[in-house]
Every structure is written in structure tokens, then in C-alpha cells.
Amino acid sequence: MPKIDLKRELKHLYQPSAKEVVQVDVPTFQFLMIDGEGDPNTSPAYAEAVEALFSVSYTAKFMLKKGAQGTDYAVMPLEGLWWSDDMSAFTSNDRSKWRWTMMIMQPHFVEEAVIHAAIAEVKRKKALPAVNALRLENFTEGTCAQTLHIGPFTEEGPTIQRVHDFIGARSALAGKHHEVYLSDIRRADPSRWRTIIRQPME
């Protein structure tokens, strides 16, 4: 059975150009999610959340690959929703007040029972406290504007502004700032990090 790659199948959502901002319609997908707050660069909770997400996502993948159907698929990239109760925390870069939902999309054929089994398996093998806070949830964004940012996260400002300007010329911002992390930041040079900047619009 060929390997399923949703990132390729959903090219218009997960392989945007850095040259332009485009409008996209994002349907309902199911995500493995976890919530938290604080500076992602220094917060142990953030690192634990990301580790739990990937551990369960890969465990579910291998369960299905070894199962009766032999279904193989590529694990989707890490995504994040970002906001703050005081939105000035973003303009002042006060990351201690940032709130986030980190998440990884799960293909539609990954059923809740598989996720529960994967969580139980990860808990059996590893001491990851964040695993208990994971949930599987449907998430709908609808109409959004997005583009690709190439470079470190600290230089996203102008790219985010381009997205906001695109929306401002057509309607208004809605929902939470959304990022999709296409690069392995542990290995790639920061100047080549590829991050999708997505923002829902009215």
C-alpha cells in the first residue's frame, strides 16, 4: 500500500509560496491538541507538550502500519495557535503572557480508539506528564489568509503584517494567529526555517 502524504494532497494548505499572500478555505480536520501558556523558548511545559504530541502521533502511525490494513502515512507537521488575553503582549514581545494550543493533524482514518491506545502505549513506555493533557478534537478555520515565512521566528513580524494588510483590504481579522512548522528546527539553519503564517478572516 502506498504511503499517504496529506501534506502533498493538501498542497494548497501546506505548501504555500513565500512570494504572495493567498486566501484559502480550510475545512474541518481532526487534531491531537494540547493547551498551555508561557514563553515557548524557556517553558518546560511547552517542550513537554511538543514531545507528547509527537510521541503519540508516531505511536498511532506505527500501530496502523502494523495493523490488519497496513496503512502507512506521513505524520503531519507541528502547528500552533497563539494568542494572549492582553494582545499588547505580542507587540511588546512579552512571551511570558503568550497562550498557545499546539497540535498535529491526524488523518480521518485515525480513530479515537487508536489515539487512546497510542496514549496508553506512550504512558507505558515513557514518563511524559503532558500526555494526560492531550485531546483529539475537530477544528474548523474556514476562510483564512496565509503565506510562507522563511527565516527565524524572531523575523516573522513583516510577514505577519503582510497577512494582516491582505485581510484588512478585504475584511477583518478573526480567530487566532496560526503557524505551521515545516522545518525541523533542531537540524535546519534558522535562516532556512519554513513556517506557514495563517490568519482566519471574517
CATH number at residue 44: 3.20.80.10
pLDDT above 70 (res 129): yes
90 and 179 inside one domain: no
Mean pLDDT of all residues in the chain?
93
Tell me: the pLDDT tens digits for 40-62?
888 899 999 999 999 999 999 99
| Residue 197 near residue 145, CB atoms below 8 Å | no
Which of 139, 154, 175 is the last residue in one of the domains? 139
pLDDT above 90 (res 185): no
Q: How confident is the model at residue 95 (pLDDT cuts 50, 70, 90)?
A: confident
Which of 119, 139, 159 is the last residue in one of the domains? 139
117 and 174 inside one domain: no
Helix (H, G, I), strand (E, B) or coil at 107: coil
Check residue 39 and give left, alpha or beta (phi > 0: left; psi -120 to 50: alpha): beta
pLDDT above 80 (res 79): yes
Mean pLDDT of 138-159: 95
| Residue 129 near residue 183, CB atoms below 8 Å | no
Say how many Å lie between the first and final Cα of the chain, rounded. Answer: 41
Domain of residue 115: give its range. 28-139
**Whole-prediction pTM:** 0.94
Q: For position 39, what pLDDT does the model report? A: 86
pLDDT above 70 (res 70): yes
DSSP assignment of 139-182: E--EEEEEEEEES-GGG-HHHHHHHHHHHHTTS-B-S-EEEEE-
| Residue 195 near residue 18, CB atoms below 8 Å | no
Structural domain includes residue 6? no
